[in-house]
Chains A and B, each alone.
Chain A
Amino acid sequence: MAIDKFLVEASHIMMFARSVGDANPVYHDEEYAKKSDVGGIIAPPTFAQSSAQFDPNYFLRPKVGGEGWFGSGKEASGAKPSSGSGESGGGGAAMGLHAEQHFEYHLPVKAGDVLSATTKPGNSWEKESKRAGKLKFSESVTEYRNQNGDLVITATGVGVQTERAVDS
């Protein structure tokens, strides 16, 4: 996966912060944020995950005029999930369920930044589990760089493909 332009916008940060129950004004109040230590609206720690919005081929988003969607409509399932880029944000969703996620923060990410991202595969391994059968783990490492080419975040996601739905 590669994302050429991940626009970090204040309104997107506001919506993202709301969705994770974060009322901190540093994510939505520009006046407050300017006077704070960080000097402006910044991205919350897991915001890089929303780079999926800027991956043109992200397979967990219904496409405009696309080839159908695997969620329910008239039937309980529509089309089969299309394959394609799904490793956005270093997340594991495309690889089944998300097992682990790690972020390293090198430089602050602020509203107005334009990031780019490249993802490379990492390690993979297998494990047997009582709750879901054979588990296939695979790692992906995404590097986010800002408009100056500086590395801002390294995100490592671990996805797991299960043999069957996880017993709870």
Chain B
Amino acid sequence: MLKESEIKIGDIHTAILVEDLKRTQIVQYAGASGDYNPLHTDEIFTTQVAGYPSVFAHGMLSMGLTGTMLTDYVGDGTLKKYGVRFTNQVWPGDTLTSTATIIDIREQDGERVVDLQIETTNQNDVAVITGNATAKIES
């Protein structure tokens, strides 16, 4: 858990989430999450029927990868809220980097919490996820 005495508004945490995303990892996420939409795993269907240049990652895989960065930073079991918009698709071969920026430190329901702004970008510096999170901190 983050300690209030060790953080301040404007602090930034950055992590590389994945380098050269493999189709197999997308398959792995399909199996774990139960979302077998062929748009994510079936290159033939996705290119020939759906009209996309390739399969692409589940939005929830990007959110999950970003969540790994987030909990590595704020600690286990401390999240109160975590929400994202999927602003661009994530393709096999992408390298994703994510940042969490502290935008507020405040009281909520008798607990000290931190508000974070989140952005995950690809290798072309295009945002694939933007979002927010709130986590408990130690006062």
Contacts and interface: CB of A to CB of B under 8 A. Distances in A.
Interface of A: 12, 15-16, 18-22, 24, 26, 36-38, 42, 44-46, 49-50, 52-53, 58, 60-62, 70-72, 76-77, 88-89, 91-93, 97-105, 108, 156, 164-166, 168
B71 A45 contact: yes
Interface string B1-39: 100000000000000011000000100110111111110
A156 B83 CA distance: 9
B105 interface: no
A40 B81 CA distance: 21
Contacts of A108: 77
B88 to A, nearest CB: 8
Interface string B38-77: 1001101100111111000011110111011011100111
B22 to A, nearest CB: 11
B56 to A, nearest CB: 9
B80 interface: yes
Contact of A101 (B1, B25, B63): B63
Nearest to B43: A72
A44 B67 CA distance: 8
Contacts of B58: 93, 98
16 contacts: A16-B32, A16-B33, A19-B64, A21-B17, A24-B71, A49-B64, A71-B41, A72-B44, A76-B48, A77-B45, A93-B37, A93-B58, A98-B59, A103-B81, A104-B81, A165-B50
Residue from A15, A20, A44 having most chain B Cβ neighbours under 10 A: A20
